[in-house]
Chains A and B, each alone.
Chain A
Amino acid sequence: MKPMTITEKILATKAGKDFVQAGETHWCKIDRIFTHDPCSPGVIGIFNKEFGEDAPIFSKQNYIMIPDHFVYTTDDLANGNLVLMREFAKRKGVEHFYDVGTPDYKGVCHVAMVEGGHVRPNELMLGTDSHTVTAGAFGCFAIGVGNTDAAYALGTGEILLKVPQSIKVQIEGKMPDAVSAKDLILFLLGQLGVNGATYKTLEFCGSTLEAMGAEERMTLCNMATEAGAKSGIIAPNQASTDYLRALGLEPEEGLQADEGANYIQTIKIEASKMVPIVAKPNSPDHSARVTEVSGTKVNQVYLGSCTGGKLEDFRAFAAQVAGRKVQVPTFAVPATQSVFNDLIKEKIAGVSLYEILQAAGVLIAPNAGCAACCGGPKGTFGRVDTALTVVSTTNRNFPGRMGNKEARVFLTSAQTAAATALMGVITDPRNLN
């Protein structure tokens, strides 16, 4: 049989075939699907119209409902959407509904999916959000879809998919201190541009990835969509397998690409030469070295989102600000409730991360969620309401993304965000005394 990429192997299984290749279109069986609060009402509406209100969903276990975007708000429309979700979840017997205001509440869907044990190697997962690609970190083929495709999949368990070509991104060597996966992906986005991987999969491999922790791998896959990619994927390593085991799963062995598999392009990155990278306003591919923009005065720093609000990001941030004071308003939003709880549990030199952040003057959101990453309703924690210059660990800096259209948002790693918060100007974390 001809060699296949990881993506081709997974999609062959889901299409019920021995072999598929890039460019072919197949009906594929999905393993799981999630919808979040801004898209659930649309999905439910289409489902009811097309299949009927009494129609069964494809699986009660494998449809996951996750409020995360516009939660803990006074906005009537946003709260109305949660009511629709509750009704549907109840009527269909949805087993995993992480409802707001309950002990089940988790937060940002992409991290919540992992924590809930819904992300597994070799599976095909859909989500109504472009950052669904995050799950590729565990060898899962995960893609963002719109309401119509989601509603169809929810009723039938199927999706019509074109098998994407793959770009191999080979990253070798040891990462320097103060450089993280966020810097790697911002660097790669600068190389590829915002449409450099359109319709394609970014398949990451190399010694750097083999040594990388699960959450850092998530950051890398998460922003594949910023290059237009259909998905980002990495064959599981020990760290990603252990991460799932700690959640009580016994993941199957991840598929590997065959020798001689067909890649449309190969990009090689030497990790040891990496430096802190920033994406300048107003696009995630406006990459520059942090040193090129250092000294730029900022008015606000934001730590949060599926990209930059995981425990690993908080750890890196706390390590930098411990014993110091931030110089500009600094907002921190844990991606999930579990990250929030870990801030209290985890300690550096006997002091919890939560206390370190508080002592440094960082404002910590009372609830986990997407918050100001995508602006949100007026009054959202950390929302950029005026034309500020902001450093943020999130994933997009398009005009108006965090609120105000004239605001200038620089995307960085948690380390660079911390160094910047401490100095009040964009600062390379390696230059922090």
Chain B
Amino acid sequence: MRGDVRDPYDDFDLTVSQLGDGRYIRYYDWPPSVKEETPEAEPETDDV
């Protein structure tokens, strides 16, 4: 059903562990080549 090109954002590293009370916690991490993130905008900034 998915489209033509594999989404690079699906290539995350998933680490699943359990908290002290047994609940599951899932950490999603992406390689720097995918993130390419600029600093997050301050709330008053309209830049996207």
**Real binding pair:** no
